[in-house]
Amino acid sequence: MTFAAAVLTLYPEMFPGPLGHSLAGRALGDGLWSLETVQIRDFATDRHRSVDDTPAGGGAGMVMRADVLARAVDDVLSRRPDAPMLAMTPRGAPLTQARVRALAAGPGVSILCGRFEGIDERLFEARPIEQVSIGDYVLSGGEMAALTLLDACIRLVPGVMGAASSGNEESFESGLLEYPQYTRPNDWEGRTIPEVLRSGDHARIGAWRQRQAETDTRLRRSDLWERYGSARVGEPSGAR
């Protein structure tokens, strides 16, 4: 079974873009995932093929029309009823590794990319669309956010990463940042690789990595650390 992605956008030429290269590009060539782009403008009905209009109540910029977007969304939902429909917007719920993993385990995803000042809110009342943000900053459109979400999903699709890793020992899967990595040369500009990593003692290495992951998470990401701590209540505090 392949992971089927559909992207609804005014800029289909932005896809697959970076996803045509490296790991994702190889997997696309191997048929492990598929990509369909849908030009939103094809669902406009007026002479000018307009997809946007001025914001009700005034203000800068343009708003994407609910009627045009609904026709595009309905077309995709009718052909792909099993894939969740997402809309990339800074107003959405923050994307998490847990959501990425759930999407990657499913049949695929359909993604609506916003442009301009936003999307007429009535679209989200009238259609089953999950609004997703990739972070607290504003992009010029949802396309780069869609590429980010797809990249995160595709690397987890079975067969894409091969035997090297299942991806689930990494950052965020444990609730912690990943431990730091090193490779040869052992001595670089007078800095050497931590001795424990060259000991061959896998129990010691595992314990060192866990401690590093915890320290780095506590110092760099107090938000993750607090959640990690509350998820572990009941365990002896000496374990933390």
Residue 89 in contact with ligand ADE, rule: CB under 6 A: yes
Q: How far is the CB of 11 from ligand ADE (least distance, A)?
A: 13
Q: How far is the CB of 145 from ligand ADE (least distance, A)?
A: 3
Closer CB to ligand ADE, residue 115 or residue 160? 115
Between strands 85-94 and 130-133, the pairing is parallel
**Contact criterion met (CB below 8 Å) for 225 and 232:** no
Closer CB to ligand ADE, residue 83 or residue 88? 88
Q: How far is the CB of 91 from ligand ADE (least distance, A)?
A: 9
Nearest to 176 by CA among 229, 214, 222: 214
Nearest to 178 by CA among 226, 145, 210, 149: 210
Residue 134 in contact with ligand ADE, rule: CB under 6 A: yes
**Cis peptide before 16, with omega less than 30 degrees from 0?**
yes
Closer CB to ligand ADE, residue 44 or residue 119? 119
Closer CB to ligand ADE, residue 118 or residue 229? 118
The alpha carbon of 116 is separated from its chain's Cα centroid by a whole number of angstroms, namely 21
Among 38, 63, 145, 156, binds ligand ADE (CB under 6 A): 145
**DSSP assignments along 214-237, one per residue:** HHHHHHH-HHHHHHHHHHTBTB-G
The answer to whether the annotation marks 134 as part of a ligand binding site is yes
- Separation CA 133–CA 128 (nearest Å): 17
Among 60, 138, 163, 233, binds ligand ADE (CB under 6 A): 138
Closer CB to ligand ADE, residue 24 or residue 112? 112
Closer CB to ligand ADE, residue 12 or residue 114? 114
Q: Residue 45: which residues within 8 A CB-CB, separation 6 or more?
A: 68
Please count the other Cβ atoms lying within 10 Å of the Cβ belonging to residue 19.
Answer: 20
**Contact criterion met (CB below 8 Å) for 177 and 171:** yes
Residue 180 in contact with ligand ADE, rule: CB under 6 A: no
**Contact criterion met (CB below 8 Å) for 92 and 132:** yes
The answer to whether the annotation marks 100 as part of a ligand binding site is no
Among 17, 18, 55, 90, binds ligand ADE (CB under 6 A): 90
The answer to whether the annotation marks 138 as part of a ligand binding site is yes
Size of the site for ligand ADE (CB under 6 A): 12
The alpha carbon of 122 is separated from its chain's Cα centroid by a whole number of angstroms, namely 25
Residue 135 in contact with ligand ADE, rule: CB under 6 A: yes
Task: List residues near ligand ADE by CB under 6 A.
Answer: 88-90, 114, 133-135, 137-139, 142, 145
Q: Per the annotation, where are the binding residues?
A: 114, 134-139
Annotated binding site for S-adenosyl-L-methionine: 114, 134-139
